[in-house]
Amino acid sequence: MGRLGRRGRGGRCLERVRRLAAAREPYESGRLGGTPAGEYAKAEFDCQDVWILYGENPGEGEVANLRGTGFIDAIQEICGKLPEDRIGRILLDAGTADQAITRTTDWLTANPDAKHIFATSIDDARASGMAKAFVQSERDGYAVGPGCDDIGVSALKDGPLDETRYFGCVAYTPEKYPDYLVTIALDVLEGKPVPQEVHVVHQFLNQDNVTTLYP
């Protein structure tokens, strides 16, 4: 069995590497999507008649909730505190775009006065469904997805913002995780000091820059 697979030093090293590489900042990743959304709201609408819609699922845990909180807080830092009735929440517990389309459409029907809506959810699948609901309902909404997985990247490449209503996504770049793992593993095995947490760098992507990371 290889060095990392044995019990003892190698096994402890691998466990430490897993713990270090798993450290993330869900609240900050939410803010990373919410900040450009707030800046757009300020530039385009002077933050007038701005609403926020969050597709949540408390059953998926604190990480998902922190992303939504970060998104909401970032927009309000730019536009000021919104009235409570302008921050909507819908339960998206199926994890599908189809449910997101249906429940976002229901929310839009129940809130005909919602004018400029900035939305996010737990993943790109649900966020893309919210964007599709805006398109189908012909409402002025913009969705931000967390992850930039295949669904999110495809949504950004499908067309301009005024056609897709997919404002952008926060890229977690999981394809780069092995780079972090190898570097940390070597340092631990060689007895070099390593940080208690290793934070993976996230990046906001939109129609203008998505091809720089995903051609």
pLDDT tens per residue, range 45-58: 999 999 999 999 99
Q: Is residue 212 part of a domain?
A: no
What element of type H or E holds 51? Answer: strand 50-56
Are 116 and 81 within 8 A, CB to CB? Answer: no
| CB count in 10 Å sphere of residue 143 | 33
- The domain that holds 128 is classified in CATH as 3.40.50.2300
pTM of the model: 0.82
> Rounded CA gap, 34 and 69, in Å?
10
Structural domain contains residue 76: yes
93: in domain: yes
Task: Tell me, yes or no, whether 12 lies in a domain.
Answer: no
Residue 170: give the domain boundaries: 25-207
pLDDT in tens, 12-46: 554 554 454 444 478 999 999 999 999 999 999 99
In a domain, 20, yes or no: no
Nearest of 170, 98, 108 to residue 140 by alpha carbon: 108
Residue type, 64: A
Residue 93 carries which side chain, given as an amino acid letter? D
Please say whether the beta carbons of 178 and 165 come within 8 A: no
pLDDT in tens, 32-41: 999 999 999 9
pLDDT band at 180 (very low <50, low <70, confident <90, very high): low
19 lies in some domain: no
Structural domains counted in the chain: 1
* Gap between the Cα atoms of 100 and 134, Å rounded: 11
Q: Is residue 13 part of a domain?
A: no
> Which residues, 6+ apart, have CB-to-CB distance to 163 below 8 Å?
135
